[in-house]
Structure 1
Amino acid sequence: MPEATSGQARPGGQTQRLVRKHPDELLVGLVSISDRAFAGQYADQGVPALRAWLQDTIVGPMQVVSCVLPDERAQIADTLRGLVDDTGCDLVLTTGGTGPAPRDVTPDATLDVATRELPGFAEQMRQVSLHFVPTAILSRQVAVLRECPDGHAALILNLPGQPRAIRETLEGVHANAQSAGVSGVFAAVPYCLDLIGGPYIETRPERVQAFRPKSARRQQ
């Protein structure tokens, strides 16, 4: 597992800026969005699932900050802005609140803070999920960039709310005798971070085979 430090982000408003200890250290924000988890009616499962998956997949150092929020559009948007602009996260992963129900506002809040949308991620997330459940077509999850005036930029991805669905979306459908498999969305995340000026990260190939063009790969 990579070296990882964890902290709690304050919901909404400014958060303390992370200090990168190595040029390739990944700074990650994890946001679980659920009225009931926020109210303490059950223990949040989204953030622990995301943190464990990242620690099992990322090769190299990583700092993680996290929080649990209610399904409130303005509060979600303020928190996403803070994680990118103030905390300095390179990657922000949200979990929950992506369906068609009236309180599912995570995609709307994410688009509120976006400078550019990356629709290919969302298309692929639904394609992967359709291998498991037909209701994947109901998901409204999005992926966006947030670019700051100082040149810092981050990738924000909306993920499903259930730990199993999170893993499936990130890893994809593994190939077997009956199927060639479908790539999970995380395979494209390292190169995306390269392109927006983020750290160079690598993954464990048994979990995710990250793709980069040959010209973008570091010499070993």
Structure 2
Amino acid sequence: MKLSVITISDRASRGEYQDLSGPAIMELLRDSFPGADIRSVIVPDDADALLSAFTAHADADYILTTGGTGISPRDITPETTEKWCEKALPGIAELLRAKSYKETPNALFSRGYAGIRGRTIVVNFPGSVKAVRFCTGLLVPVMEHGVRMLRGEGHG
């Protein structure tokens, strides 16, 4: 499986802040999918930079993003993801919000999006380490099934 992690953060992209959420996702993915090809990149909260990162990672089975899903003026991840994707996967975003709400009511302010472009599934996670660990844990059990479905495997 090919997996990409994109961290969206102005401060981390400038080296002013150490990205902790991207590495947390990568650690969980390595543990869950030994031998997987896992790449990562950090981009600023900028739609053009994020669109370029999506295009550069379009060969991945999954692109998981962290950051930029809140309601601050610089949070552009969901809109940019929706613009890049061809189809929505609302069930993923709905589940992540619903389950996250049980952990913290602040999850109501997360606007994460999930969608598909070609054979790539894109899922937005919030930017905190706690949130990405929780959300990755929810997604991992269904990731291989999603890849099989996009490849047209398992349909009788």
Higher relative contact order (CA 8 A, sep 6+): 2
Q: Tell me the residue number matched to 1:192.
A: 146
Q: Tell me the residue number matched to 1:37.
A: 12
Alpha-carbon separation, structure 1, partners of 2:131 and 2:13: 20
Q: 2:126 aligns with which of 133, 153, 160?
A: 160
- The one-character-per-residue Cα deviations of 1:189-218 (angstroms, maximum 9, x if unpaired) are 2211111018x9xxxxxxxxxxxxxx78xx
Q: Tell me the residue number matched to 1:118.
A: 89
Q: Tell me the residue number matched to 1:90.
A: 61
Structure label with greater radius of gyration: 1
State whether structure 2 residue 41 is matched by structure 1 residue 48: no
1:188 deviation in Å?
2.4
Q: Which amino acid aligns with 1:155?
A: I
- The one-character-per-residue Cα deviations of 1:143-166 (angstroms, maximum 9, x if unpaired) are 00001xxxxx11011011111111
Q: Which amino acid aligns with 1:44?
A: D
Q: TM-score, normalised by structure 2?
A: 0.93
Residue pair 1:124, 1:185 contacting (<8 A) in 2 also:
no
Alpha-carbon separation, structure 2, partners of 1:44 and 1:142: 21
> How many residues align structurally?
155
Percent of aligned pairs with the same residue? 31
Q: Where in structure 2 are the equivalents of 1:1-220 lying within 5 Å?
A: 26-58=1-33, 60-84=34-58, 88-147=59-118, 153-171=119-137, 184-197=138-151
Q: Which runs of 5+ in 1 are unaligned?
A: 1-25, 148-152, 172-183, 201-214
1:46 deviation in Å?
1.9
Secondary structure in 2 aligned to 1:137? helix
Q: Which amino acid aligns with 2:131?
A: A
Q: Which amino acid aligns with 2:151?
A: G
1:65 deviation in Å?
1.4
RMSD in angstroms over aligned alpha carbons? 1.7
Q: Which runs of 5+ in 2 are unaligned?
A: none
Structure number with the higher helix fraction is 2
